[in-house]
Amino acid sequence: MSAEDHRPGAERPGGTDAPATPTPERWTVDALEDTPRGPVARLERPDGETVDVPARHLPDDVREGDLLAVQDGPDGVSFRALPRETRERRAQAQAQLDALNARQGPPTNDQGEIDL
């Protein structure tokens, strides 16, 4: 069997494979801003690049820090809120912040200055 036999839609003894649906990317809502052209969301892609999208294209009640599933389809790009993943990511970030805040700081003298 050649590599071509493994492509979506290739004929096989059991019939034709349906094209695989690509996994949606996870983008983060970095900022929400009011502009002269209306509300805009700055979304951060997994590679760190940002994209500005009119907020009207996003799910209702989206907030900064929310995770969105972004998928390109026949009707254009769709955005779907991921509330469970957003909660998990926020809890993880809070735990990291709490751990950093719990660490003992550098030694200081009576005036609160750092002793070297």
Q: Which domains are delineated in the chain?
A: 23-102 (2.40.50)
For residue 25, give both structure tokens: 């990317």
What pLDDT score does 95 carry? Answer: 92
Burial 11-49 (b: 16+ CB within 10 A, else e): eeeeeeeeeeeeebebbbbeeeeeeeeeebbebeeeeee
pTM comes to 0.67
Q: State the burial class of residue 9 (Cβ atoms within 10 Å of its Cβ: 0-12, 13-18, 19+).
A: exposed
Give the model confidence (pLDDT) of 19-62 as tens digits.
Answer: 667 789 999 999 999 999 999 999 999 999 999 999 999 999 99
Q: How confident is the model at residue 2 (pLDDT cuts 50, 70, 90)?
A: very low
Residue among 73, 76, 64, 74 at smallest CA distance from 27: 64
Alpha-carbon distance of 106 to 112, in angstroms, equals 10
**H or E element, residue 25:** strand 25-35
Location of structure tokens 């389809």: 73
